[in-house]
């Protein structure tokens, strides 16, 4: 239910006509939630523009995968190309929105999402290019880790993917906006109180005047 809450709010960041990159992990689930009447082109770093929903069992093609090596479908009009062309799209500023997972986000909008020191990783993937090349970066993640520690930090403790790159952060508790003046709480998820967000957030943030504070 927590994951579903985050995903449903993240879908609202997608607008008709956008070219969108969905990061590996939880963000890829958004492909199945985009409204049918939206003309949205999903782009993948491994060379696919026009990703469709996850395939049914009889639709699975082992050669048709996304950057997370999951089998996907391709929409009518989809294009296939090499990863160099894909990264040229990203670095050239042609991606309207990237929705990425996160391990930590700081109050300055820094993002750490590619490695934990001491644990094996295959590589940094495309995240470092996406946070610099995409026009808007939305991060979705749990508000606290499995130890109950805030993942919304004053400063990230994990290796950074990018500095001051996050525009919007969505967790199961709240939605934050980042700008030159800092981090602002703009929404509380249903049933969540401001006190709960404050108690689980290490970062300092301001509160939007549009938020209805419940007792």
Catalytic positions, written as ranges: 45
Q: Which residue has the tokens 């993002």?
A: 111
CA-to-CA separations, 122 to 27, 69, 99, 116, 125, in angstroms, rounded: 19, 13, 21, 12, 8
Please calculate the CA angle 200-203-208 and round it to the nearest 5 degrees.
Answer: 90
Report, in this order, helix, strand and coil percent for the chain, each rounded to 5. Answer: 20, 25, 55
Q: Are 110 and 160 in contact (CB under 8 A)?
A: yes
Paired tokens of 94: 């042609």
Of 114, 131, 117, nearest in space to 21 by CA: 131
- Return the H-helix or E-strand segment holding 83: helix 83-91
């Amino acid at each position: 239910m927590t994951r579903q809450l985050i995903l449903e709010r993240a879908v609202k960041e997608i607008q008709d006509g956008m070219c969108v990159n969905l990061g590996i992990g939880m963000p890829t689930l958004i492909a199945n939630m985009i409204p049918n009447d939206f003309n949205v082109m999903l782009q993948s770093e491994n060379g696919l523009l026009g990703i469709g929903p996850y395939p049914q069992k009889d639709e699975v093609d082992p050669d048709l995968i996304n950057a997370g090596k999951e089998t996907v479908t391709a929409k009518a009009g989809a294009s296939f190309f090499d990863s160099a062309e894909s990264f040229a799209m990203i670095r050239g500023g042609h991606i309207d929105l990237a929705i990425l997972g996160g391990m930590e986000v700081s109050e300055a909008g820094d993002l750490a999402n590619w490695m934990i020191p001491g644990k094996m990783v295959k590589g940094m993937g495309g995240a470092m290019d996406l946070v610099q090349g995409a026009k808007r970066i939305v991060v979705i993640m749990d508000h606290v880790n499995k130890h109950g520690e805030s993942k919304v930090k004053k400063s990230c403790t994990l290796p950074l993917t990018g500095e001051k790159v996050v525009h919007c952060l969505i967790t199961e508790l709240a939605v934050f906006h980042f700008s030159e003046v800092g981090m602002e709480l703009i929404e509380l998820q249903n049933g969540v109180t401001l006190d709960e967000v404050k108690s689980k957030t290490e970062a300092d943030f301001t509160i939007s005047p549009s938020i209805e504070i419940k007792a």
